[in-house]
Structure 1
Amino acid sequence: MNFNQMDYQLFHAMNEWGRTASFLNPVMRLLANDAFYLFFIGLLVYWFIRNENNRKMVAESVIAACAGLTISWILGHLFYRDRPFVSHTVLQLIDHPANASFPSDHALGAFVIAAAIAMYRKKDGMIWLILAALIAFSRVWTGVHYPTDVLAGALIGILVAAGVHWAISHSFTLSRWLQACIQFYEKYETKIWPQHSKNEPRATAQEKRL
């Protein structure tokens, strides 16, 4: 049995759980289709907490995600692989175009953001990594990816996030450039949404009337 056959056998076993444990299918559809948006919501929440480390974390996440998805696009063209439902009869639980299957963009995107968060916030990062793993698992369960597609996506995502974090942490130029970009944004943000220091005394009712 060659590697592709082993990959298909594992896919088939996982995909068949959609029949034997069909009560979980609504959860798997939700994870496969919509759970990824939680990462975008999470990044927005972290960003607008307006903490310096959070903003560096979010910026690194976006940079790493862009780099990771670029790598995925290149690999998808160099090593094109049909989706499972194109080559085999599968239990397909969600709609999906018949484009490149390898690597999984959903798995890559989820893991690259989760890993980037884990570099700064370990406890939060563990929760995000678990969610990323569930998304990757659901993509196989629902019949749109092979196991190696999501494993490759997860591995690329983690490595890219770690690489971007290492590069920014060890390069004075990159670190200053990132900080300058954040400060440029904050310069205009504070004009629309002023940030008050916790130690700044609040105006009294009489002062407000004046």
Structure 2
Amino acid sequence: MHEFLELDRQLFIFLNNLGSPEYDHFWKLITNKWIWVPFYGILLFILTKSFKLKSLFFIIIFVAVGITITDQLAGIFKELIKRLRPCHDPSLVGLMRPNIECGGTFGFYSAHASSSFFLATFLAILLKNRFGYFPYFLFIWACVVSYSRIYLGVHYPFDVGMGALVGFLLGGLFATLAKKTIYKN
């Protein structure tokens, strides 16, 4: 396990140091949940054009519950695992790019990655037959949001990978449940 964590640490140092001050503001915007409100509005518009009102209601409920669960699970794991965020790890001082905003003490696993991959998976499954390449765009978006967490020094790659996996699995589960609910009514 020690070798795996050291590999994760080295990969973090490499990925984090790919950044430069010219792009810091861009990645801070990417990681900000509020910057995506117009994008969420577009997603809602697409859903309103794709589903009847009753189905849309259920979809919104499933998204709200799913995002809440992914976020709360991440908080539980952070407290159980207690893995320091890179920006709180004293052994990384001087090895990573400086970060002004670090967040909570612990970082395993990334709630940003989990929520992004949940939404991407959920919507990709529901919309895959209606919008061709759109699901690929959703996963690219989730990857960009997830990478922002490494760039900014608040998560290790394994934190992000585990968050993405949890979000992907829960997104698939919730999409299956949503499809059963939508097509039953």
SS at match of 2:169: helix
- Is contact 1:57–1:117 with CA below 8 Å preserved after alignment? no
| Deviation per residue, 1:86-118 (Å, 9 max, x gap) | 112131345132332011011111111111110
* CA 1:119–1:46: 2 relative to 1, 3 Å: same
Aligned partner of 1:81: which letter? R
Task: Tell me which residue corresponds to 1:12.
Answer: 13
Q: Distance in 1 between matches of 2:141 and 2:114?
A: 12
Out of 170, 175, 178, the position equivalent to 1:160 is 170
Out of 115, 131, 134, the position equivalent to 1:124 is 134
Q: Distance in 2 between matches of 1:144 and 1:10?
A: 14
Task: Tell me which residue corresponds to 1:82.
Answer: 84
Aligned partner of 2:110: which letter? S
Gaps of 5+ in 1: 180-210
Q: Distance in 2 between matches of 1:23 and 1:38?
A: 25
Quick check: 1:59 aligned with 2:80? no
Tell me the matched-pair count.
Answer: 172
Shift of 1:9: 0.2
Shift of 1:60: 2.5
- Is contact 2:88–2:105 with CA below 8 Å preserved after alignment? no
TM-score if structure 1 supplies the norm length?
A: 0.70
| Deviation per residue, 1:146-178 (Å, 9 max, x gap) | 0011111110001001112223445xxxx27x9
Q: Distance in 1 between matches of 2:74 and 2:31?
A: 18
TM-score if structure 2 supplies the norm length?
A: 0.79
Task: Give aligned-pair identity as a percent.
Answer: 24
Task: Tell me which residue corresponds to 2:97.
Answer: 91
Q: Distance in 1 between matches of 2:97 and 2:64?
A: 34
Q: Distance in 2 between matches of 1:76 and 1:36?
A: 25
Out of 120, 128, 135, the position equivalent to 1:114 is 120
- Is contact 2:123–2:175 with CA below 8 Å preserved after alignment? no
Shift of 1:24: 3.1
Shift of 1:39: 5.2
Q: Distance in 2 between matches of 1:74 and 1:44?
A: 29
* Structural RMSD (CA): 2.6
| Deviation per residue, 1:46-92 (Å, 9 max, x gap) | 45558325554433322221222222222122111111011121313
Q: Distance in 2 between matches of 1:124 and 1:58?
A: 19
Q: Distance in 2 between matches of 1:24 and 1:92?
A: 13
Task: Tell me which residue corresponds to 2:153.
Answer: 143
* CA 1:25–1:120: 2 relative to 1, 3 Å: same
- Is contact 1:114–1:128 with CA below 8 Å preserved after alignment? yes
